[in-house]
A and B are shown apart, each in its own frame.
Chain A
């Protein structure tokens, strides 16, 4: 391993690679900041460039774009209530209220520090422990996936809002929306109303952008600008205050990073699951859970540190098992194969130096991210002071472009608008959007895992609960999540 580390450093520390990493991080941040423009399609668009490069340089370049894009998603989440990528959905919950309170600079600072911390620690972890961590992926079968998704929904439902009934209704509605597509086991069509776009997979990004961005536009129209408070945009003080706040909370950073690292190393889970579970856990463990969703900086740390930790750890199953841990790593897997690197258990033996260089590049990319993101932070917070008569049409155009560019599909644009109206209606009647989003994200995972578990056990439901120590632990955690709040109230009298 030590030899690989030295050789990997040798590959990485060339002027060409370091310049490419810097360019790639910048491209990633810009692309990630456009709502709907995901890390996956940015990396896919960049792929043809890399065919002219050496294999390890190509993957380093793509990995740096991935890191940049994942942070970039936080920028519109903080400033305009719109997650730039699915992994930043939970960031919206506290970061945007902070912006409305005139704390956009602090929120940006926290998101930078948390992102870099999460990405950096997870990347170091990846370099040191790639092989043992890969074993975690082997421990997750269908019953474990079902328990994980149930834990996610229960943990979040139990910590959200004051009205649990409305939260549950919202979550159930999300699960119903997730059931639009084909039955995962029998292949029967269900609720697609004849639209081929809804036949096998839901257009997830249009749903998220619609619920958050479009519904917010309807509110912004009534305002002059996002924040009515005075913001000092001429100095970095607020941004650095945010950075300092995040660094003063190492336990929260570590907890979110650990959640992101573990979830990222499990194929199929990804950033969109990690940021919610991390946010839910942070709220559950907080002394002031009632402040979550209203501009609590701890919520921003939880979401941002976890989603950037996923960028590194999702490379574990990609490199070691040849199974992509997320959509973006699926593209990177294709890039590896196109360059003649066969991912799988033998990768570290045959291409040890190249694989180590890829992992080390994540560390370099996160360091570049820190400087670049801080440098531009003072300028991007000005967005909240823009008059809405300019801001609303700009956001609308950007979201339509971003969502259309995903699949060149106008259906996706209409779908986004439909969910924008739904989001507005729900917010008007005090229904939280988060359980709905989580239902949509986890629905297919939970349903497929549930059905396949029962197929495997030939109908015996005990497989769902006691098939392994992981399922037992996840159910106990879910039970604790469900009961901790009422128990706490009881104890406090």
Chain B
């Protein structure tokens, strides 16, 4: 297996060389050129637009899959970063590209949805053709391990109900899945937190490590590097399939005795899904099919799973493949969910 990964990495190195030559020449890769539908597709590198800066969670997730996807599709991915506008810049870049399936993008939901809800984006969900969903990262509430005031989540809720606003909770920004998770938790339990939005996930988690705040609302995998200092109190999930990474914490609904539907676990979770423009999908439906099939093959491959399990800590549990039709449904559900709770989120930040 290691040898396979190595050889793929070597291959990737060669691909990287080609990409660098292109990038240092600062040539925007012109895609298309081949109007024959699926024949020889892909004959050019597939521009993969990441709507965040280098080094973030989405970048990492794309790079983790890159060599497997390239092997499945027998082509190359060329990564391009278009941060800004709360992912709107990157999304728009995919929609503005030649509609030939040589440009794909990664939607980080719900940031993706907020560009349409609060960001005045010039597009809506019908402008996207989905390739598939790759990853899920459920929401969690963490406390510092040295904080002995609370044994479990019920203690926290009890304290926050009796002392409204006394417990500070950091989130990665003013409008996102973490704020939604907390807003719904307040609505359902009557607890009241002092929600403090930070400038990104790293600073919000660091605020708990340094004990500037009492709690952080984050996600399982994006907060995994704080496990030495912090512990999970509860997880937003139907059942906790991530117990090893989450201190065997209970689900919110089990611990607090409410109905799953009152705080749907899909609200506070993050999902990464790949897409191209609907126009490209309509014009080159066979190319879209090749993208979709190769994506499914690579995400569901045993090699990719093994690669994720070799990471430290093992991360195979974040893989959650969903086909295009289910991804479309998920995107719509997420959109409806965020729209309907916008007022609730506004009241808490």
Contacts and interface: CB of A to CB of B under 8 A. Distances in A.
B317 interface: no
Contacts of A186: 174, 349
Contacts of B199: 184, 444, 448
Contact of A338 (B60, B175, B226, B313): B60
Given A330-B53, A404-B26, A407-B81, A196 B312 contact: no
Contact of A407 (B6, B13, B84, B207): B84
A267 B206 contact: yes
Interface in A43-94: 43-53
Contacts of B301: none
A307 B6 CA distance: 36
B120 interface: yes
Given A267-B206, A345-B228, A458-B194, A200 B24 contact: no
A45 B24 contact: yes
B190 interface: no
B310 interface: yes
B240 interface: no
B209 interface: yes
A347 B22 CA distance: 36
B56 A323 contact: no
Interface string B23-67: 110101000000000000000000000000111100110011001
A439 to B, nearest CB: 18
Given A337-B60, A404-B26, A44 B55 contact: yes
A324 B297 CA distance: 34
Given A331-B54, A338-B64, A458-B165, A187 B174 contact: yes
23 contacts: A45-B24, A47-B16, A48-B12, A48-B15, A48-B16, A51-B12, A51-B63, A52-B6, A139-B210, A184-B199, A187-B118, A187-B174, A187-B175, A187-B349, A189-B118, A327-B54, A330-B56, A333-B55, A338-B64, A350-B312, A405-B23, A408-B80, A455-B196
Contacts of B6: 52
Nearest to A341: B312
Which range holds the interface residue count of chain B? 35 or more
B92 interface: yes
Contacts of B202: 267, 323-324
B215 interface: no
Interface string A318-347: 000111100100111110011011111110
A401 interface: yes
Chain A CB within 10 A, most for which of B17, B63, B82, B199:
B199
Interface string B1-22: 0000010011011011101100
Contacts of A201: 83-84
A409 B92 CA distance: 12
A49 B196 contact: no
Contact of B82 (A182, A343, A409): A409
A132 interface: no
Interface in A160-208: 182-187, 189, 194, 196-197, 199-201, 203
Contacts of B15: 48
A334 B118 contact: no
B88 A41 contact: no
Interface string B290-311: 0000000000000000000011
B54 A321 contact: no
A13 interface: no
A66 to B, nearest CB: 12
A466 interface: no
Contacts of B174: 182-187
Contacts of A187: 118, 173-175, 197, 349
B213 interface: yes
Contacts of B118: 187, 189
A138 interface: yes
Contacts of B60: 334, 337-338
Which range holds the interface residue count of chain A? 35 or more
A389 to B, nearest CB: 24
A196 B93 CA distance: 12
A268 interface: yes
A100 interface: no
A323 B56 CA distance: 11
A458 B167 CA distance: 11
Given A49-B13, A185-B349, A327-B53, A194 B197 contact: no
A34 B197 CA distance: 36
Contacts of A323: 202-203, 206
A334 B59 contact: yes
A456 interface: yes
Contact of A52 (B9, B89, B93, B313): B9
Given A185-B349, A340-B311, 10 more contacts: A47-B54, A48-B20, A141-B212, A183-B174, A331-B55, A343-B225, A407-B81, A408-B82, A444-B199, A456-B168
A345 B16 CA distance: 32
B98 to A, nearest CB: 14
A197 to B, nearest CB: 6
Contacts of B209: 138, 321
Given A200-B85, A200-B86, A334-B59, A456 B312 contact: no
Contacts of A407: 81-84, 89
A337 B56 CA distance: 11
Interface string B220-232: 0000011011000
Given A330-B53, A452-B196, A455-B194, A344 B225 contact: yes
A142 interface: yes
Contacts of B64: 338
A337 B311 contact: yes
Given A49-B16, A340-B311, A196 B54 contact: no
Interface in B267-300: none
A138 B210 contact: yes
Nearest to B165: A458
Interface in B65-113: 67, 79-86, 88-89, 92-93
Nearest to B91: A196
Nearest to A188: B174
Given A186-B174, A200-B85, A52 B13 contact: yes
A481 to B, nearest CB: 27
Enumerate the 8 nearest inter-chain pairs by beta-carbon distance, A residue then B residue, closest first.
A48-B16, A187-B174, A52-B13, A330-B55, A196-B85, A322-B225, A44-B54, A331-B55
A258 interface: no
A47 B10 CA distance: 13
A53 to B, nearest CB: 8
Chain B CB within 10 A, most for which of A40, A51, A186, A408:
A51
Interface string A102-144: 0000000000000000000000000000000000001111100
B90 to A, nearest CB: 10
Contact of A46 (B20, B198, B203, B206): B20
A189 to B, nearest CB: 8
A334 B79 CA distance: 14
Nearest to B202: A323
B23 A51 contact: no
B119 A199 contact: yes
Contacts of A49: 13, 16-17, 20
A327 B55 CA distance: 8
B84 A200 contact: yes
A184 B86 CA distance: 12
A450 to B, nearest CB: 13
Contacts of A43: 54
Contacts of B17: 49
